[in-house]
Every structure is written in C-alpha cells, then in structure tokens.
Structure 1
Amino acid sequence: MPRNVKSSDPLNVGIELYLMSIDEINEVRQTISIIAFLEFTWTDTFLAWTPFEYSNITSINVKVKDIWTPDIVLESTLDKQTDLLDKDGNAIISSDGSVLMWPYGRYTVSCKIFIGQFPFDEQTCVFDFLSWTFPSSNIVLNSSSTEISKKYYKESGEWTLKRGKVISESRPTGEDTWDHVVFTIELQRKSLFVVLNIMLPIICISFLNTFCFMLPSDGGERITYCISLFLTLAVFMTIVNDSLPETSDEVSKFGVYIGLQLIGCGLSIIATVFSLYCYHKSDHKHVNVCVQFFVRAMCVSRCHHTSRQQDINNVDENTSNGEFITAASATIVECDTCLSDENGTIHQSPPITWKMVSFALDRLCFMASIVWHVLLISVLLVVMVS
C-alpha cells in the first residue's frame, strides 16, 4: 500500500504526455526517441494543509526527493526505468494535497519497424507506462484524454505525425492486475527526399542499361558501359540496405526491385559478352541452321541484304564496263536461298554471317530489356500503392 494514503482505497495517478518532437527513428536498431514532457497528478493526504493557518498559502514547490512519488516506469525503454522521475526536479503541491509533476526528457523505446513499403512506410510505436511494484489494487493509472496533445509539437523533417492515441487498460499479471497507460504514435515517412535522391536515380540508371545493346560492337565501350552501371546499382543497393533493419522478418519491396535490376544488369553483361564473341567470330565459320532461323526471325537478313545491295550498286557506279565483281556480290552469288521482289524477279538472299547473329542477339536483348524494365516498374508501383 502506498504510504501517502490513509484509507484502503487505491491511489489514483493521472498521466498525460505532451509530445514536443520526434527526435529519431533508428531503423537499424529499431528504436524511436521522442522529446516530450509528462504530467503526473495524484493526491497525497499527508501533504494537505489549511491555507488560513499558513498565511493563505495555497501551493508550494518542493524537491521531488523530499516527497513520496509513485514508481511509474516506461516499459520497453532503453534507458534506466528508475530515471523516469528526476529526483532533482520540483513538484507543485496544493493545499488540498494534490501533487503535480512535469518530468521532461528524451524517451527511447524499442519499436518494431516494418520496412516492406519503404520509402512509403507507416510506423506505429507504443509508449507504455505502468507502476513497477504496485498492482491495480494499490495504484490506479488513468488518463483524462484520448489523444496525445499536439500543443507543443514541432513537425519532424522526416516523419509526419498522423495520430496519437491514449488508452488506459488493466492487464492480468500473475494473481493480480496491473494498470497501464498506453500512448500510441502513428507516423508516416516523408518520402520525397528518398524518391528524388534514391528511387529516381536507380530507375533512370536501370533504364540506361537498356541502351547498351544499341552501342556499336566495334566501339570498344560496351563492356565498360555495362560494368559501370552494374557497380552504380551495387552502390545504391548498399546505401538502401544500410538504412534498413538487419532482419529477415520482412524485406523491402524496393530493395527487391534493386536486387532484380542488379540481376538484370548482370545478365546484360553476359549477353553483351556473348554478342561481342559472335561479332568478332570469323565469317568463314559455318552458322548452324537453328541460328540462321533465329537471325531471320529477328528480321536481320533482309536489312543486311539491303545494305549489301546498296554497297554493290555504289561499287558498280564507280566501275567501267563491268570489268570486275566485288567480293560482296560474289558472296551473294554463293547463297543457296532465294528471294523474289514485287516484280517476280528472283534475287539470292545474303548468307548468314556471325556479325548478323550478333546484331540479331542485340535486337532480341534490347526488346527483352524494355519488357523487363517496364514490367518491374509496373509491379513496383502496384505493390507500393496497395
């Protein structure tokens, strides 16, 4: 039984929380820190006096260490629970025995951080106050409000305070019940900074990877270009992962997107290497029938036939009386496959070379890369909005 009551009735202690600012939310440690001051009120019957007998004094200020105080603690705190009430602080005592205290400080508690929707995530953190040694039969905790007061609150640059709820409840513990006053803070991340500085650069870099298949194979810069984009995505992935909790309970959807883009970039490097291998392969080596069918399916042979025929015409214009035949025209004569134009004239199609195979592979990878990036960004937007 608290020593400040004369009857067997439980002592009523009122608790209010006045939030001033969100100091820090540490996603890696999964903690939240706030700057706030509390308001504790109770009635100590041993401290009451008659104002008429003491020069009409109705209230006094005394040191907290000089009076009895309830042992209210903050559950799941990372600080010492006994430091909730500052013994060097002051308390206001009225003539009717009511005591008022306003402890001020930085309160840190553990808070489960859900990162699935990062950077559009919402977090809910709880500040639970209870008596450390007195059950409900001795001390009753309550709050007169249902919402956390925002009178002194200053908006955070990273988080938006959506709502602050207050709940007073009793929980059974052992053979008795214990009163709790729970302050629930609902926060939403301000995502503009992350979108502009992380999301948009990653999406743009990912799309840049598509255009590596449009670079000329004989330029010598394709592999360097692909590897540079791969390393850039790896750096951005490291930056994102460093700001997220080290846990496997939940994975950020945006982190999965970066990982898939990194895999796609790696596949682009492999495809580029294989394309360059085909490009620099000797044209005298035979091309398999299946590969020839793939090249024609990519509409490469007709394009190369047109360009080769233009080269022949240009050469013929510079020759006199048809005295010689170019190597390109000789190559066409050796082809086994024939094409007919709109006038019915039969022309021999050009042979399938390994350079044409390289060109067909680049065309296929370019189209596949466009589909890959559009599909990933569409899925990312859907899961982020939902």
Structure 2
Amino acid sequence: MTFALVILFCGTLTWNSADAVTAEEMRTHLSTTLSSTYYTYVRPVIDQSTVVDVSADLYLIGINNFDNSEQKLTTTAYLEITWTDEIIARDWQNNGVETIYVPQTDVWIPDLALQNGFETLTGLGDKFLYVKVEKSGAVTWRPYQVFESACEVDVTYFPFDKTMCELKFVIWSNTKDSATIRTGTVGMNTELYEGNAAWNLLSATSSNFTTSKSTGVTFSIEIKRKPLHYLINIMIPVILLGLLNVFVFVLPASSGEKTGFSVTAFLSFAVFLTIISTELPRNSTTVSTFSAYLVIMTLVSTLMVVVTIIQLRIFNRADDTPISRFWHSIESCVRRVQCAICVGSGHVAMEKANEETTWQSVTDAIDFVGFYGFVIFMVVFTFIILLVSTIGGNT
C-alpha cells in the first residue's frame, strides 16, 4: 500500500512538472517551432511528393433563411478540419508543451472554399481565428461562418414542397496530387442545430466527390416547408374568394351590381397571383400547382365576367324581341333539369315546364347553369389540387 502511494505521488509530480510551462518557455517554443524557416505556403509534409490528407466535418448551427425567389440558402455552421503538419512535428522543441494555439495565418491551411457560393467563391475563416496544433503534428482548424449557398428549389408542390440543398467545399488551388479532402468520422453533425420557423430539417448527410483536378466534400441538407403561413394567408383566402365569385349568379340582374362584383373578384385573383409570383423562383423550370390553380381560377373569373355581360345584355332586351332557337334550347334544357330534380312541389314543376320562354327566363337559366356549374367545377378542381400537392409533397 505504501509502495503504491509512493508511485502515485511520483507520477503526480512528473505530470505536474510536464504541465508546468512558463510563458517564457512557451514563447521560446513558439519562436523555434514556427521559426523563420517555416513557410505557410509550403505544404506541411517533409517529402513534397506526398499528398496531404485533409478531413472535414460540418456542425450545423441553424438555417437562417431560404430565399425562394433568389434560390439562396443562408446557414450558420462551423467546419472542423484536421490534417497532420509533419514539419511542425519535426521542429517541436519542448516536449512539455502538448498543444499550442496560433493564428490561422501563421501555419499552412488548405485553400478550402465553398464552391457553390451564391455570389462569389468564398474562403473560410478569418485572421482572428486560432488553429490548434498538437505535439504529434495534428492540426485542427474550426472556421465558424455564415454560408450563403445557391440552392435550386422545386416548387411543384408549393407550399407542401421539400428541397435538397448542398454545401460543396473544394480544395481550390492544390490539385488532388498534392492535397485531398474527405469527410471525417462525424460527417455532418446536427446536435447544435436550432429549429427554423419556416422550414423543418428532414435529413443531413455528407459525401465525397472528385473532379478531374481536385477533390471536395458535399454536405446535403433536406428541408421541408412549413405550410401553415401560406395556408392561412394565401390558400384559404383564394379558395374562399373562388367560392364567393360564384355568387355573382345569385345577384339579380336588375340590381346593377353583377358586373362590378365579377370584375372585383377577377382583380382579386390577379392580386393573389402577383403575391405568389414574388414568393416563387424566377425561372421556367418548374411550375407550382398552386400557381396553375390561380391562373385557371383567373381564367374562370374572366369567363364569369364575359357570361355576366352577355347575361345583362339579354336581360335588357325588349320583350317583343324574338328569342333565337339557341337561347330557347338552353332555357328548355334548364327547365327539364329543374323538373327532374323536383324544384318545388309537383304542380310547381309542371307549371315551370309549361311556361312560355321569355328573356327573363333565359336570364334565370344562365344564373342556374352558371351557379351550379361553376360551384361543382371549383370544388372538384380545388380538391384535386390540394390532394396532388399534399401527396406529392410527402413523397
């Protein structure tokens, strides 16, 4: 027992003496290790024909913004990039010093850049960042940055769409014969990720890629849009507006408000179409199903305006004006349909069947066909669009 305590005491003294490094010793160590013979533009291998192996892991902090119109993803993250500097390991002077931290400008670092940067090719890090260097020559560089990357978005099922965005990092100047990069043991880490108000993070993966001259790593982020905002502020008002538009055929022709009502509904669809166009990318690659829905509803609203104008022209004709066979046939068909579905009691239906065709009855027939026809069309069409968007967005 006594012998064990003595061994433990001696070991503690040895450990403390190894850790007890003064500021003067550290300064001397740094001046000798990173001496004037160390050049940051010389690859950190003793044999310059050897390839420098670099590994990189990405730690995602958050998705700041995704601009649909510009197709730009803004993320906050940091990379953990590691490699071995054989020259520093060879020139290490003080074995009592295990680790040093030096500015990234004082040691060789790979010229790693975000290849698919949104505006320009962006380098990593800044001169105020420090690099961790160990006695073995292992170097760890952790540049923290806000990345702006281009991301092509597929808005076919907007606002139930999901998008795969990539952050591609490549060693730009050094060819793959001098420096290569690959994903580390972690790959892409999301433990520090903070949720976004507009997007859900579905998956985060990493992979390696090689071109004819260089190597790189790709960090892929799959995100899905949260549709609640668009449902409440755009989709539901548009659907209700479409149903409200049909009630132009309920207004009596004598009120003088039919044309104003239909034109106002048409302009409302045009306003919503403008709002949607500002939210979606400015390209012709894909078309949103909801944009197609708005365009078709605008065309339907246009048709309602035309029908209303024709109806008012018919309504204001003199009673002694002869009724053409075309309008007489339409009015007779509507009268048969009303009798078939038993409009009112039986004797009322018989009376309607025996009524003489007038311009007023033709106007009423147009109201009947327009109201029920457009209601059935819009309900079925809206249901199909919502079904396609939700199913397509979840596949």
TM-score greater than 0.5 by the shorter chain = yes
Deviates more, 1:220-229 or 1:157-166: 220-229
Q: CA distance change for structure 1 residues 145 and 229 in 2, over 3 Å: closer, same or farther?
A: farther
Match of residue 382 from structure 2: 377
How far 1:58 moved relative to its partner? 0.8
Distance 2:58 2:105 in 1: 22
Q: CA distance change for structure 1 residues 211 and 88 in 2, over 3 Å: closer, same or farther?
A: same
Normalising to structure 1: TM-score of the pair?
Answer: 0.83
Letter in 2 for 1:17: L
Name which of 157, 178, 200 aligns with 1:138: 178
Q: What aligned pairs does 1:239-258 form with structure 2 within 5 A after superposition?
A: 239-258=275-294
State the SS of the aligned residue for 1:57.
coil
**2:207 touches 2:217 (CA, 8 Å); kept in 1?**
yes
Letter in 2 for 1:368: G
Q: CA distance change for structure 1 residues 17 and 301 in 2, over 3 Å: closer, same or farther?
A: closer
Name which of 306, 311, 327 aligns with 1:291: 327
1:281-330 deviation per Cα after TM superposition (whole angstroms, max 9, x unaligned) = 11111112332232121118999xx9xx99xxxxxxxxxxxxxxxxxxxx
1:125-180 deviation per Cα after TM superposition (whole angstroms, max 9, x unaligned) = 11111111222221121112465211111010111111111102323x1xxx4221
Query: How many residue pairs align between the two structures?
Result: 345
2:45 is equivalent to residue 9 of structure 1: no
1:18-52 deviation per Cα after TM superposition (whole angstroms, max 9, x unaligned) = 1111111112111211111111111111212688x
Distance 1:3 1:285 in 2: 98
Distance 2:168 2:368 in 1: 61
Match of residue 64 from structure 1: 104
Output the aligned Cα RMSD: 2.7
Runs of 4+ in 1 over 4 A off after TM superposition: 300-303
Name which of 94, 105, 113 aligns with 1:54: 94
Match of residue 371 from structure 2: 366
Q: CA distance change for structure 1 residues 236 and 357 in 2, over 3 Å: closer, same or farther?
A: same
Name which of 189, 194, 197 aligns with 2:230: 194
Structure 1: which 5+ residue stretches go unaligned?
311-338, 342-346
Q: What aligned pairs does 1:1-386 form with structure 2 within 5 A after superposition?
A: 2-7=42-47, 8-48=49-89, 54=94, 56-78=96-118, 80-81=120-121, 83-145=123-185, 147-171=187-211, 173=212, 177-299=213-335, 349-384=354-389, 385-386=391-392
Letter in 2 for 1:209: N
Distance 1:282 1:302 in 2: 26
Normalising to structure 2: TM-score of the pair?
Answer: 0.81
Sequence identity percentage: 26
1:76-110 deviation per Cα after TM superposition (whole angstroms, max 9, x unaligned) = 21355353132331111111111111111111111
Distance 2:118 2:386 in 1: 37
Structure 2: which 5+ residue stretches go unaligned?
1-40
Distance 1:71 1:260 in 2: 52
Letter in 2 for 1:103: P
Letter in 2 for 1:138: S
1:323-351 deviation per Cα after TM superposition (whole angstroms, max 9, x unaligned) = xxxxxxxxxxxxxxxx989xxxxx99443
Q: Which has the higher helix share?
A: 2
1:352-372 deviation per Cα after TM superposition (whole angstroms, max 9, x unaligned) = 211111111111111220222
